[in-house]
Amino acid sequence: MRPLFITSIFFTALFLITGSSVERLRPADRKATRETVNLFRALYRLQQRGVMYGHQDDLMYGYTWWYEKGRSDTRDFTGDYPAVAGFELGHLELGDERSIDSVLFDHIAEQIKEHYRRGGVITISWHAKNPLTIQDLASASRRQGGTAWDVSSKEVVSSILPGGRNHELFNTWLERLASFFMKLKDDDGTPIPFIFRPYHEHSGSFFWWGTGLCSDEEYSALWRYTVSFLRDKKKIHNILYAYNTDRVTSLEQYMKGYPGDDVIDMLSLDMYDRGPQFGPELDNALGFVTSEAARRKKLSALSETGPRRGMTDWWSSVLMPVLTKYNVSYVLTWRHPYSRRFATSIKGPFPEDFLNFFKWQKSLFLSDIKDENIYGKKKR
């Protein structure tokens, strides 16, 4: 296990101050399960000490392999699992057996349980189809109708809110989502806590819930209705909810559509490297996001990021210098899409520079957090 990283006297003092009060912190859900409360507090402590590494679909497939139990691109390259495992539930709302990425939902549930047993953190995203342009569930299940990226109408969100013509359809989708969530239990029948990040990258206009496709009030109402459905109606109390935007340049822009502290546990940001100004842009955004999260007693995360094409030293020269300045719970990179054509052309799942991040004292992988007992589980 690599030693944990404390950058300066400032961070040491901050940790001591925060650590003394962290046991008073609670998730937004006042009925959150004991394990969920423990996870929230553990993540708050951990983000004072380092940044966890997360990888989307890391346990499901890689560039050259497809669902091999126990396998992970991160582990293949570093010898360790990511601390945070990301999963995607797009197409679950349709009643399909496989996700938008062709992964069996039964396999997703299986790997969520396995990563929980290892002591890792789980985060879930949901690229739901466009409920307005889908004609009926039968055609939707055959993958016809609009995708999450169908931005042909500005009336999608209003159509699924109470009183909208697609409200009952949306309730059906939420029922399916709730049913999946309620099956996520450990061997003792205890609900497995996880971070849920729906309606993500709201500041962009490339999803049907994006800022150019609905009003701030509608977006907030969508969030609040979803949380109320899962938390209050379905009595699901093992979820930490993550608010999320794409790249933003000000706190005012970031908070547009924010649904309220009573339904949010984490302030997160997605930002990919699109050019030479990425470093300063990320620095600026993480500055006000992490500051606002601390002020509201919320978690923070860089929930999606990645290098621009052709960069060989991105991890050490761009990302790490920015991350060292802020208390970020985790940084997650996106999936490695499987393709048979990669089988003989991929030399490794990550660039060599990724090892610099892995060896960095501030980065946390599974072996760095597994002894933390972040869920407060009783040892057998």
| Token pair 């099956």 in the structure block, residue | 183
Q: Please tell me the predicted confidence (pLDDT) of residue 145.
A: 66
Cα–Cα distance, 212 to 298 (Å, whole number): 27
Backbone angles phi, psi at 224, to 5 degrees: -65, -40
Q: Which of 225, 256, 218 is nearest to 241 (CA)?
A: 225
DSSP letter (8 states) at residue 242: E
What are the structural domains, with CATH classification, of the chain? 32-372 (3.20.20.80)
Interior/surface letters 125-159, b for 16+ CB within 10 angstroms, e for the rest: bbbbbbbbbbeeeeebeeeebbbbebbeebbbbbb
Neighbours of 174 (CB within 10 A): 18
Q: Please tell me the predicted confidence (pLDDT) of residue 1.
A: 46
Residues 176-210 have pLDDT tens digits of: 999 999 999 999 999 999 999 999 999 999 999 99
pTM for the full predicted model: 0.93
What confidence category does residue 279 fall into, taking pLDDT thresholds of 50, 70 and 90? very high
Mean per-residue pLDDT of the chain: 92
Listed in sequence order, the residues at least 6 apart from 24 whose beta carbon sits closer than 8 Å to its beta carbon are none
Residues 326-377 have pLDDT tens digits of: 999 999 999 999 987 666 666 789 999 999 999 999 999 999 999 999 999 8
Half-sphere exposure in the Cβ direction for 304 (13 Å, CA): 20
| Token pair 């822009």 in the structure block, residue | 253
| SS3 category, 109 | helix
Residues 107-161 have pLDDT tens digits of: 999 999 999 999 999 999 999 999 998 854 444 444 556 899 999 999 999 999 9
Tokens representing residue 215 in the block: 């009003």
